[in-house]
Amino acid sequence: MTGTVFKEDGNDLVEVEISYETGPKVPKSYGGVSGGALWELHVELDKDLKVFKVNKKLHGVAFRQSGDKKRVTANAAALIDGIVETKIIPTCPEASA
């Protein structure tokens, strides 16, 4: 997945083009994913092709798709990190762990 970070109305956003090189299904639309997490997953397989490790990175929270339905725009992860640091951790100390 590749992404372009930009500002819109003062907000940090990221637009990602989804790669389907290894995926079995290509959705016809991302409609209905607004508010859902936009994750990048890297799956490592052992010699028997069984999953033994999954690395994940949160890119943001999706809220729109491009007209050609190949790209999804999300709030950038830095915005989410800022919300966690300034809003969640101060009110919920166990969240800092």
CB 44 within 8 A of CB 54: yes
pLDDT at 61: 81
Q: Provide the number of structural domains found in the chain.
A: 1
Record the tokens describing residue 22, joined without a space.
């290894």
Range of the domain at 30: 2-96
The partner residues of 58 in beta bridges, in order of sequence, read 39
pTM, to two decimals: 0.53
10-residue mean pLDDT profile of the chain (97 residues): values are 76 77 68 74 90 84 79 76 80 70
pLDDT at 2: 57
pLDDT at 88: 79
Residue 49 one-letter amino acid: L
pLDDT at 26: 65
pLDDT at 65: 81
pLDDT at 24: 63
Query: How many CA atoms lie less than 13 Å away from 62 in the CB half-sphere?
Result: 21
